[in-house]
Amino acid sequence: MAEVRKQRRDAANNRERILTAAGEAFRHGGMTVDMRAVAAAAGVGIGTLYRHFPTREHLVQAVTGTDIAELADATLPERVSAIVGLREFFTATMTHLATNKAMVDLLAGGSPSDADLDRCLSHLTNIGQEAVDRSRIDHTLATDVTASDIAYQLLGLIRIAQLIPDAEPDAIEHQVDLALRSLAAD
């Protein structure tokens, strides 16, 4: 049986510094951050960065994968109407994403072939179905709203988040309100 090779301590430290620097850079600059700037911020050469992360996509996945998993685990609040639950869910999601430009870029323009992204999109549709099911009792959503409609509304909000300067909380709440008006019962 092949022996699992342990990473040298300096290599492990370099990897952690790269992840920290990339996380900060991606949160503030989005997916367009220059890889040389990430390497410089981490205090390593560009070759060291690429030894750990052969492509930008590998680095983005390592940095944002945890955030996508957290988003995919978020739930619709319990014991509230469908529309109130969606308001809380959309606002919390948008507020979380507003602090991570790379996540917004990834979700707004990423490839749905990525397993984490697929899981996240599937989860959003499940949240939508839960809201639709809840609305059958409380009648707070329009009768023609589907689970996919709800997922698409949140994905649309994520696109809009790319345009909101400095993730202004009032602007986020306003956009959530506009999206929910299209889903609400008359």
How far apart are the C-alpha atoms of 28 and 33, rounded to whole Å?
9
By CB neighbour count within 10 A (0-12 exposed, 13-18 middle, 19+ buried), where does 5 fall? Answer: exposed
Amino acid 83: pLDDT: 97
Q: How many whole angstroms separate alpha carbon 161 and alpha carbon 155? A: 10
Cβ-based neighbours of 22, under 8 Å, separated by 6 or more: 33, 38, 42, 59, 62, 63
Taking only the tens of pLDDT, the chain with its 186 residues reads 444 456 688 888 999 999 999 988 887 887 788 999 999 999 999 999 999 999 887 887 788 766 676 776 788 999 999 999 999 999 988 887 777 777 777 777 665 446 666 777 788 899 999 999 999 999 999 999 999 999 989 988 888 877 776 667 788 899 999 999 999 998
Listed in order, the ranges of the chain carrying CATH 1.10.357.10 are: 62-183
What is the predicted pLDDT for the residue at 167? 66
At the fourth CATH level, the homologous superfamily of domain 9-54 is Homeodomain-like (1.10.10.60)
CATH 1.10.10.60 range(s) for the chain read: 9-54
Instruction: Output the DSSP codes for the chain.
Output: -PPPPPPPHHHHHHHHHHHHHHHHHHHHHGGG--HHHHHHHHTS-HHHHHHH-SSHHHHHHHHHHHHHHHHHH--PPSSS-HHHHHHHHHHHHHHHHHT-HHHHHHHHH--TTSHHHHHHHHHHHHHHHHHHHHHHHH--B-TT--HHHHHHHHHHHHHHHTTSGGG-HHHHHHHHHHHHHHHB--
pLDDT of the residue at 47 = 94
CATH 1.10.340.70 fits 62-183, yes or no: no
pLDDT of residue 125: 92
pLDDT attached to residue 112:
45
pLDDT of residue 107: 73
